[in-house]
Amino acid sequence: MKRFLTITAAVLLLAAISFWGYIRYRQHASYSTLIPANAGVLIRVDVYRLYQSLSGSLFKRRRSERRFFKGLSIPANIFCYTLKGLQGNTLFATLPVDDTGALARSLPGMGFSRDPAAPGGITFARNGNQTCILAYNGDRIAFAFPPGKENVTETLGRLLRQEDMIPVAESAFSKIKEQEGHITLLSEKGKGRLDFQQGAIVAALQWKAESLQTQEIPQPEANNGNALTLYWLGLAPDWLEGKQFRIKDISISGDSLLAAHPHGFIFEVGKTTVQKDSVISYDYNDDFEKVATVSVKESRVPGLRLQLLADAPLYTYLQRIGILSRDSNTVRHKLFPLYKVHTGTAPGTLWASTATEAPLPLSLAKGPFVFLIRADFDQLKQVPDLAWLNRYTAPFTSLSGVGRQLRDKTIDVSMKLNCRKKDESSLLQLPFLF
């Protein structure tokens, strides 16, 4: 019996070592994946780490009926990238194809429709909302998402033909192999990671931003009871300098905004407020004379408040170009017809709010903060006219995040999205996946 247990333990140990060696080999081999030589940002999706994070939760829920692409060979790491010279927010990726027939049959179930046949043995397809375009041949498949307005078909063709590409291990992104994380980002400007923990999604980012001007948080960070609080206190002058912006028929000069020395903004969604409007109706008296009757209509609206951190001349400028009304201290109704938005000024800020009360005075100072966000999704879904958000936020309870500028001008960002099910992988709780 003792000998049997020893042999069994040795076999299990050998199997574990072999499996570990196989995973290590697959991980190493994945860095021979070819990426374009002109890649601007590289994102690595660590498939084995994701499987590991899901292993404990998959046994607790029934198998998802959601369909996925078939006929693909999934490597240990999937690499996505942007390309220099193209629209910066379009991501590309390629994967090996094992079975083109199975892949073609799975496309309709994923919401993709094939384009008319293209020359060169390449098949193109796109989903209904145009957020992803793919192309495949007998060897591999290439994705572009979201393609935006640019024509990506030529780029997808070059990726399938593997033109001007190099292995990840020999590229400028070779150090991504040393980084941890389920999803990892690397660029000339910085690095980041995204991890799907039990009950929470955690993100971290470090990014170079030389020209960003930051501030101190102008009031205590303690929870103020709002459903949403967002401080954006970082501003780079080149975001506005020489730029022109349009809101409907109104043109806004970036240089005029800079002249008011803007520092950022604070946006809050607080308690519901009641707005009163006079309603005039007409009726006839006993002498058949038309008589006007004035009544008060009360409406419950979200408690929205925006503070622009800038000098007072900005208020005058916004009145002059027609965003703010000169005679009623409100945002012009044609620009924001949903609610009446009251406006005013205070030292160092101008404010706009669905409530009539002015915000508390701010104490501005230079500091390291770029932004701070706090959101309570259970409170947000109780806000009038915002219940539609529950479609996207139902699996989550809260969001918190902060961005600070370090001494070397690097922006350090950390964020955490808390899920409703604390004992289940957060990846399984993403509503658009499962």
Mean pLDDT by 10 residues, the chain (434 residues): 56 53 64 92 92 66 60 92 82 93 91 83 88 92 81 90 93 92 94 94 91 69 76 84 88 90 89 77 71 74 90 89 87 87 88 86 74 92 84 91 87 94 86 54
Dihedral pair phi/psi, residue 285, rounded to 5°: -85, -170
What is the bridge-based pairing of β-strands 140-145 and 133-136?
A: antiparallel
For residue 90, what are its two tokens? 């379009």
Q: Residue holding tokens 């303690």?
A: 222
What type of residue is 322? G
Instruction: Give CA separation, 164 vs 35, 97, 135, in Å.
Output: 9, 21, 18
Give me the pLDDT at residue 434, please.
41
For the chain, the structural domain boundaries read: 31-187, 211-274+300-408
Beta-carbon contacts of residue 314 (< 8 Å; ≥ 6 apart): 257, 260, 262, 308, 350
Instruction: Give CA separation, 57 vs 64, 95, 195, 399, in Å.
Output: 12, 27, 15, 22
Give me the pLDDT at residue 343, please.
92
Beta-carbon contacts of residue 296 (< 8 Å; ≥ 6 apart): 276, 277, 278, 279
The Cα–Cα gap between 69 and 108 comes to 10
The Cα–Cα gap between 255 and 277 comes to 37
CB-based contact 135:124 (threshold 8 Å): yes
Beta-carbon contacts of residue 304 (< 8 Å; ≥ 6 apart): 267, 268, 269, 270, 339, 341, 353, 354
CB-based contact 207:411 (threshold 8 Å): yes
The Cα–Cα gap between 254 and 314 comes to 11
The Cα–Cα gap between 42 and 167 comes to 12
The Cα–Cα gap between 179 and 45 comes to 12
Instruction: Give CA separation, 393 vs 26, 60, 269, 377, 431, in Å.
Output: 36, 22, 16, 7, 8
For residue 256, what are its two tokens? 């005029």
Q: 258, 235, 218: which is closest to 348 by C-alpha? A: 218
CB-based contact 323:247 (threshold 8 Å): yes
For residue 401, what are its two tokens? 């995040």
The Cα–Cα gap between 425 and 200 comes to 8
Beta carbons within 10 angstroms of residue 5's beta carbon? 9
For helices 47-58 and 2-30, the axis angle rounded to 10 degrees is 130
The Cα–Cα gap between 299 and 91 comes to 44
Q: Residue holding tokens 């993403």?
A: 430
What is the bridge-based pairing of β-strands 250-253 and 410-419?
A: unpaired
The Cα–Cα gap between 301 and 283 comes to 30
Q: Residue holding tokens 């004035």?
A: 294
